[in-house]
Structure 1
Amino acid sequence: MASTADIKNGVVLKIDGQLWTVIEFQHVKPGKGGAFVRTKLKNVVSGKTVDRTYNAGTKIETANVDRREFQYLYRDGDDFIFMDTSDYDQLTLTAAVVGDAANFLLEQQMATVALHEGEPLYVELPASVVLVITYTEPGLQGDRSTGGTKPATVETGYEIQVPLFLETGTKVKVDTRTGDYLGRVND
């Protein structure tokens, strides 16, 4: 058991038998009345977010979540195969556990897998990854000054919006949280 003073971003709480990770928190000390903590929590399994308020000093139950580095090996149907680089054990994750990270996973890429009591919860990727555009329509000559975008398919099969001047074969940096184009990468 912990108290509200231990609430920080990334801490996983156990509430009503479910695991919730703290996205945002704010300690508030009003002029009148007792202090309290406002939190924004995200359900680890469903992804649902809720706002919760706790009085200062309230006891809360934290969950022990082990975050370990795994190497993504390959996809087998709807399953994703990861390998623990320390002991070479393989871990099979379902598409539901991998979630949106599947749009940015390349073979041999490192990813953080969160485990609770040996059960995989979710996959965390770096904030951005470099991917190669495998297909996009050619940009039109007159469209370059408008700052418009066009769809482009990257090597994972995911479709992103890129500026009109980019061509097939270009390496781009993509935000793994939003899927937004961040810039071109030059080797």
Structure 2
Amino acid sequence: MKISGVEIRPGNILEYEGGIWKVAKTQHTQPGKGGAFMQVEMKNLIDGRKTNVRFRSADTVEKVRLDTKDFQFLYAEGESLVFMDVENYDQINLPTDLLGDAAAFLQDGMTAVLEMYDERPISVQLPEQVEATIVEADAVVKGQTASSSYKPAVLDNGVRILVPPHIASGTRIVVNVYERTYVGKAD
């Protein structure tokens, strides 16, 4: 499906110069002289390269539809992750870098959505939010609780995030996987 250069949004998958690219950021710019354009930061889903491209409103680009399929995370094996198709129980090994920083939030049995292009997995989407346990939290500095300040904490998966002052070590919390931010206490 062809779309105009100014209709590109973050998260879109585009076919550009013979590759498959995922849009990371977009910025609409209207200079004083000349026509408006969309500055697009993209990452190649096949080889991981990044690029910045300007698309004018007259430019068209092919938006790609990816097939999505649910897989269950089984275990990590060296530099690869093993997932199982929930429909036919086939197992697939994927490189850890396909998930990027989100790989730290993988939990046994977690359901992930694999995006496939020509039957080949090119992207893995984890749930937006996961539960984790605080294993280490700094002490609150006296007088700091009056403002909306946050303190550093370490999760059970080794990820460092900022949490409100009232959160103590051992507390189960909900974390946004992709922004690595505190959402709230777990039920």
The reply to whether TM is greater than 0.5 is yes
Per-residue deviation, residues 24-63 of structure 1 (Å, max 9, x unmatched): 67999xxxx98x763624214337352421443x553343
Which runs of 5 or more residues in structure 1 are unaligned? none
TM-score normalised by L of structure 1: 0.77
Q: Which piece of structure 1 moves more, 77-86 or 124-133?
A: 124-133
1:2 matched to which residue of 2? 2
In percent, how many aligned pairs have the same letter? 30
Per-residue deviation, residues 47-101 of structure 1 (Å, max 9, x unmatched): 7352421443x55334342222211111111211111111111121111112111
Which runs of 5 or more residues in structure 2 are unaligned? none
2:139 matched to which residue of 1? 139
Q: 1:1-150 alignment to 2 at 5 Å? A: 2-4=2-4, 7=7, 9=9, 10-22=11-23, 38=38, 40-45=40-45, 46=48, 48=50, 50-56=52-58, 58-133=59-134, 135-137=135-137, 139-140=139-140, 142=142, 145-146=145-146, 147-150=148-151
SS at match of 1:177: coil
Alignment partners' CA distance in 1, 2:23 and 2:163:
32
1:170 matched to which residue of 2? 171
Alignment partners' CA distance in 2, 1:55 and 1:161:
40
Alignment partners' CA distance in 2, 1:79 and 1:164:
37
Alignment partners' CA distance in 2, 1:141 and 1:160:
17
Alignment partners' CA distance in 2, 1:96 and 1:61:
26
1:158 matched to which residue of 2? 159
Alignment partners' CA distance in 2, 1:141 and 1:54:
51
2:182 matched to which residue of 1? 181
Change (3 A) 1:143 1:104: farther
